[in-house]
Structure 1
Amino acid sequence: MPDSLSARLRAAIAHHAEAGRTALAAPDPITYADLGARIDAAAGAVRDWGVEKGDRVGLIAPKSAAAIATYFGALQAGACVCFFEPGLAPEVVAEQAALVGMRHLIVAEAYAAQVTGRALAGLDVRALDGFSSGTAFAAEIGPRDEAMLLFTSGSTGRPKGVLLRHEGLICNATGVLRHTGTGPEDRLLHVMPLHHTNGVNNQLIVPLLAGAEIVLMERFQAEAALDHLRTGGITYMTGVPTIYARMLPLLRQGERFPGLRFLRCGSAPITPTLHHQIENTFGVPLLVSYGLSEATCTSTMNPPGRRRIGTIGTVLEGQNVGLFDPVTGRPVETGREGEIRISGPALMAGYLGSTDQPIVDGWLRTGDLGRFDSDGFLSITGRIKDVIIRGGENISPALIERQLAAHPAIRDCCVVGAPDADLGEVPVAFVVLREGQGLDEPGLKDFVRGSLARIYVPAQIHKLDVLPVNGVGKTDRKALRSLLVVP
């Protein structure tokens, strides 16, 4: 059979089943043998439904063994599968399905009431519990066949469908496995949503290929996550900076977690100050990584045992990451800043429902600015579209955020550009203060001025109780900019 992610998963699951390993804790243990049988049955049921190779199938369900088995069953049947964000209005589901040409939708009972009505009349909707009793089936799938659909966050406009192939899923999983050394002795705490690329690619596919056990949390709750770390034998966890920041105040003084090897962090920038706080409090390394849905999931990661704070790590095997002058398009020298671009088999096949195609001459243009050091560790220095142009001078918000985050009164911060009649744009900071601290705007401005040039000093500093975040935990800069708009 040609190589595919489904074929590799099927072989790995069978191997781990022979060893008697447990795949999911959900909440009753699901063995690899049981999971493999459930995936085979779901694949047969999807085929009997009339789904053909390449058809796009959506899934709306809580994080559960049934949802996971059906997802990989549909993939094994040759479908191109997508987890929708739970709780979307029927009109939004219908719009996204039409955007990518989807005609089949599987829905768990918990969300059945939300997918009724005229808006979804064009979709063939079936209940999740109807996919547990099919006859084992595996379609013949190749590496270039369509495998997965993801939707971008839509923070800059209407969502776009990201189309991924089997070879991209294989490339990502292989690189992450070799970088992290994940194996059967590992136990992952799964806290990320399934409609996010990391929730499937790095927190389902990678551990299942490795024979690890996955502890499922339907949604992140800081105290519940800490309880799992204290008693659940967790060896690693993947999250975003916001997740760890919310856990920090709840940890006991000097607390340590038996078995915990490392924490992983991605999807949003993290300041060195917060990075140090997390490592010092949890007592294990924090491995920062970087990637985009358009390149499957992860392209660079800090290796365990030699992480470098302030960087997003080294390039995963099987991928190419280069830096290019965003104006001339020419590669830049080591040590020079340039736009991060990615090439290789992990790249998406393209966007669906959009004429915007960021892959040019085989390179994905990320819009992020970065710099490699002499050891191959990459650091993000800013984002092209987030650069604040003050009187013709480019200002990176990340530089200001890094300085503010080092102030003892600041727990979290974000800097955006605000319109200015004279200078065009000026930096404005939003800060979350530590408990018991008051906003000393002149003092914070002096603190920034102590390390950065005058142009980097925020024109205004606003206090918030919490920074707004989007569905995957990234700080929502668009929401912050909207606070600056005068009605």
Structure 2
Amino acid sequence: MAESISARLREAMTRHASAGLTAIITPESVSYTDLQTRIDSFAAGFHAWDVRRGTMVGVIASKTVDAIAAYFGAMQAGACVCFLEPGLAPDILAEQAEVVGMRHLVVDETLIARFHVSILTRLATKSLSDLKGEGAFVDEALGPQDNAMLLFTSGSTGRPKGVLLRHGALICNAEGVVQHTGTAPDDRLLHVMPLYHTNGVNNQLIVPFLAGASLILLDRFKPEPAIEHLRNDRPTYMTGVPTIYARMLPHLVPGERFPSLKFLRCGSAPITPALHEQIEAAFGVPLVVSYGLSEATCTSTMNPPERRKIGTIGTVLAGQTVSLFDPVTNALAPEGGEGEIRITGPALMAGYLGSAEQPIVDGWLHTGDLGRFDEDGFLAITGRIKDVIIRGGENISPALIERQLATHPAVRDCCVVGASDPDLGEVPIAFVVLHEGKSLNEVDLKNFIRGALARIYVPTEIRSLAVLPTNGVGKTDRKALKALVST
């Protein structure tokens, strides 16, 4: 069996091409034969550009077939490749490139003018169309320990860090997801997430390409076009974050069903049971919640589509180990007890670039998330170590308040953060998005929380917002909400 993700993809695409399968349905129809030919062409172009094994290559482009082919072409040529956010300011891009030692940049023709600036002169830059080569190039010696993919994240300092992933990590993640979901050639994925997010590549390009499924590419998520694709292009599943589904709900026709749709997948951010049930009722299919971090490639736990459990993040994927530890003593949590979620196995990153911080200790990735396994092996997140609000010496989990608040009939979305208090140290503040036609009744909402939780969980203040702030991949931006607390 091939030991690089590039070789695995090449073998899979050859089989799919022989079977006459289609790789991409829209915005253009592309067979697996055509897609592999394009990947080969770009790989030859990268090789001619002196890209060799381990060379860091950045790709800035819209979600197009050529952008995807260039990405995998660079990987096939031996590069460690990274999709970069198209909206990046040149100075931020320069900082990211410097942190990881990136010297090659590929840019879509429509965007390249933005990056011909003096601050980026250390980057050799080419357009997508200038990179296509003749024939094919394959680095046959690539193995599981070679660097394959780079992802960017930022910690509390806001400075960029490169998450370095090896070929073996991508293989482990992809095999686990394919096995857990049963993705097959008759599947069609509606791809709405950004390519610079780990899920957008690992689970929404690599997984379907290995399985022989087809993709429906939507460059940028907007509720109405996504729903039109559900109606017209017959996807069997779609992956998004809770915010994506919440924003689609008001645009759905009540009672409408999408006959080809088997399930929806959801990850990257917490979801309340109330929103989970609302989404399933609106779409008429199961919502499959998963969990993972870029530092462990992408996904470590996932609800099986045929037996999902609301309120959990599912069971552990094959090839990975997830255990719970006491974050203070580092002892294993007792059976059925709460502990910090830690992950080990081949899916772990090689490490951060540009940061002395390394969350992998003794082979275990410390996630900072708290969780609890049930008797069937389903894991539930119970809080986050850093998000815990310490009120007068008592620990408060924002997630508990959010779960209760989200069940109130007036509340569409919510988030709870901590605010400084001169007497108690910290107190909870809740932000809510109300359903249309509802007005904020702070007393009523506080009483609603008080009816289910202890007094210390009742927020000191509840504020109404038109929409919760989100970051680039749709996660609720808690930092932005904490900044609002002081205003």
Work out whether the TM-score is over 0.5: yes
Q: Which amino acid aligns with 1:163?
A: L
Preserved CA contact (<8 Å) 1:87 1:114 = no
Preserved CA contact (<8 Å) 2:266 2:290 = yes
Q: Which amino acid aligns with 2:126?
A: R
Shift of residue 130, structure 1, vs aligned partner? 1.5
Corresponding residue of 1:3 = 3
Q: Deviations over 1:115-156 (max 9, x none)?
A: 111110111111111222332010020011000000015565
Q: How does 1:112-191 map to 2 (within 5 A)?
A: 112-139=112-139, 140-154=141-155, 157-191=158-192
175-184 vs 155-164, which moves further: 155-164
Shift of residue 252, structure 1, vs aligned partner? 1.0
Q: How does 1:404-419 map to 2 (within 5 A)?
A: 404-419=405-420
Q: What is the rounded CA distance, in whole Å, between the counterparts of 1:367 and 1:195 in structure 2? A: 23
Q: What is the rounded CA distance, in whole Å, between the counterparts of 1:421 and 1:356 in structure 2? A: 32
Corresponding residue of 2:400 = 399
Instruction: State yes or no: 1:274 paired with 2:275.
Output: yes
Instruction: State yes or no: 1:345 paired with 2:346.
Output: yes
Corresponding residue of 1:98 = 98
Name the SS for the 1:131 alignment partner.
coil
Q: What is the total number of aligned residue pairs between the two structures? A: 486
Name the SS for the 1:345 alignment partner.
coil
Corresponding residue of 2:432 = 431
Corresponding residue of 1:442 = 443
Q: How does 1:60-459 map to 2 (within 5 A)?
A: 60-139=60-139, 140-154=141-155, 157-459=158-460
Shift of residue 158, structure 1, vs aligned partner? 1.1
Q: What is the rounded CA distance, in whole Å, between the counterparts of 1:236 and 1:463 in structure 2? A: 33
Shift of residue 52, structure 1, vs aligned partner? 1.1
Q: What is the rounded CA distance, in whole Å, between the counterparts of 1:130 and 1:258 in structure 2? A: 43
Preserved CA contact (<8 Å) 2:389 2:396 = yes
Shift of residue 253, structure 1, vs aligned partner? 1.6
Q: What is the rounded CA distance, in whole Å, between the counterparts of 2:26 and 2:251 in structure 1? A: 25
Preserved CA contact (<8 Å) 2:44 2:132 = no
Cα RMSD (Å)? 0.9
Name the SS for the 1:135 alignment partner.
coil
Q: Deviations over 1:159-216 (max 9, x none)?
A: 2100000000000000000000000000000000000000000000000000000000
Preserved CA contact (<8 Å) 1:313 1:378 = yes
Name the SS for the 1:306 alignment partner.
coil
Shift of residue 245, structure 1, vs aligned partner? 0.5
247-256 vs 358-367, which moves further: 247-256
Q: What is the rounded CA distance, in whole Å, between the counterparts of 2:320 and 2:169 in structure 1? A: 10
Shift of residue 312, structure 1, vs aligned partner? 0.1
Q: What is the rounded CA distance, in whole Å, between the counterparts of 1:185 and 1:368 in structure 2? A: 36
Q: Which amino acid aligns with 2:438?
A: Q
159-168 vs 149-158, which moves further: 149-158
Question: CA, structure 1 residues 21+35, in 2 after alignment: closer, same or farther (shift >3 Å)?
Answer: same
Q: Which amino acid aligns with 1:36?
A: Q
Please identify runs of 4+ aligned residues in structure 1 that moved more than 3 A. Answer: 153-156
Question: CA, structure 1 residues 385+241, in 2 after alignment: closer, same or farther (shift >3 Å)?
Answer: same
Shift of residue 250, structure 1, vs aligned partner? 1.1
Preserved CA contact (<8 Å) 1:294 1:348 = yes
Instruction: State yes or no: 1:23 paired with 2:23.
Output: yes
Name the SS for the 2:110 alignment partner.
helix
Q: What is the rounded CA distance, in whole Å, between the counterparts of 1:156 and 1:376 in structure 2? A: 36
Preserved CA contact (<8 Å) 1:99 1:161 = yes
Q: Which amino acid aligns with 1:16?
A: H
Q: What is the rounded CA distance, in whole Å, between the counterparts of 2:26 and 2:77 in structure 1? A: 24
Shift of residue 25, structure 1, vs aligned partner? 2.3
- Structure 2 unaligned segments of length 5 or more: list them: none
Q: What is the rounded CA distance, in whole Å, between the counterparts of 1:334 and 1:372 in structure 2? A: 8
Q: Which amino acid aligns with 2:184?
A: G
Q: Which amino acid aligns with 1:107?
A: V
Shift of residue 113, structure 1, vs aligned partner? 1.7
Q: What is the rounded CA distance, in whole Å, between the counterparts of 1:455 and 1:430 in structure 2? A: 17
Name the SS for the 2:111 alignment partner.
helix
Shift of residue 258, structure 1, vs aligned partner? 1.2
